[in-house]
Amino acid sequence: MGEAARPGVSRRAFLAASLGAFALPTGACGIRLEDDAPRVPLVPTRTPIPLESELVALTGETLALATQAGTVPGALAASLASIHRRQHTVLRTTLLRGQVPLPLVDGPAASPSASSGSPSASPDPATGAPSPSASPTASTIESLAAAEAESAVRAAEFAGAEADLLATLAALHAQRFAAATLLSGTSPKVGGGAVAGDAVEAMAASTSAAIYLFEVVVARTSGRVRNRADTTVRVLRSVRADQVAGGADPASTLGQPLPFPVTTAADAARLAREAMLALRSGYGEHLGALAATGAVPGADADAGAGLAAATRWLGAVEVQANRWGVALAPFPGLT
């Protein structure tokens, strides 16, 4: 057969056949390219971590708080800006280690929803907090206080987080409680029912020991230092009353030895500071267990009662510690 008579295959037919050869296995395997196609076997999928969307929102909110605090004058706001930046770093790292996608973690930062509103409670004139609407500066302080308070009162929403993250979340929300209190002079209203358990028992015992030491401070000081010590005693007694509401029965601390002789006002001030440091650290040892605790049977609260209690108790301690010269911490009790 001559060259002219040899059967040939057109270029168009060859291309069509080639494409068909590649398309055929796909169709034979049942793989569809439509949007509603089923998941392809052996292709891995990611399981979101518990409360992933809430934690992502908290991370963005923390960055927004850092930015907001940076616009407020004063040493306290500057400290809070640094604290929130550290918190953001820890939260962001935690999410990335949990394989949360980077674009999701670093999405648009959430603006604190209370940043443009009024504070959650009126400042107490006795604390020296600025009066509402006294000046543009006062307004920015109010806005920051309101944003901190709104974050603190939502602590219980994170009760479903992974167990090894609960202590961190409890400490973070306690910091927000302390910040709102120091900025506005009024503590946020963090609800939650009574809680019970070994963690509560241990924390109540620590609180009782601190109360005894502050009673020594009251007895051995006068003037402004004594008034401050009186205030701390009242706050700690309120915290202990909250702790024993669930049935805790701390042992008596009468007659416990002092860590060092207290004979002067300077000694008493040192005792106060060291007592607050020890109490904050002692609370930190039990934060995880407390945060995982639900309300006692019959209490009007859910599984988030432990996180709410941690926010109230550790937050109150952080406020008093700061008033005795202890620097605020991003995660009080843990750092």
pLDDT at 299 (0 to 100): 53
The residue-averaged pLDDT of 279-283 equals 98
Beta bridge partners of 195: 295
Residues 6+ apart with CB under 8 A from 316: 177, 178, 181, 187, 235, 236, 238, 239
pTM of the model: 0.79
pLDDT digits (tens, 9 = 90+) for 56-77: 999 999 999 999 999 999 999 9
- Report whether pLDDT(129) > 50: no
CA distances from 110 to 58, 89, 123 (A): 8, 15, 26
Instruction: Select the more confidently predicted residue: 159 or 116.
Output: 159
Most confident of 111-120, 177-186, 293-302: 177-186
Residue type, 274: E
Q: Which two tokens stand for residue 80?
A: 């809070």
- Burial label, 239 (beta-carbon count in 10 A; 0-12, 13-18, 19+): buried
Domain boundaries, the chain: 52-323
- Whether the predicted pLDDT of 116 surpasses 80: no
Task: Reduce the DSSP state of residue 47 to 3 states and report it.
Answer: coil
Q: What is the pLDDT of residues 199-258, one digit of tens each?
A: 999 999 999 999 999 999 999 999 999 999 999 999 999 999 999 998 888 877 777 889
pLDDT at 115 over 70: no
Percent of the chain surpassing pLDDT 90 = 68
Of residues 138 and 29, more confidently modeled: 138
Q: Where residue 39 falls among pLDDT bands split at 50, 70, 90?
A: low
Q: Say what the pLDDT of residue 195 is.
A: 93
160/166 Cα distance (integer angstroms): 9
Q: What one-character DSSP code corresponds to residue 300?
A: S
Using an 8 Å Cβ cutoff, are 53 and 98 in contact?
no
Tens digit of each residue's pLDDT (9 = 90 or more) over 79-94: 999 999 999 999 999 9
Question: Which of 335, 13, 333 has its CA nearest to residue 174?
Answer: 333
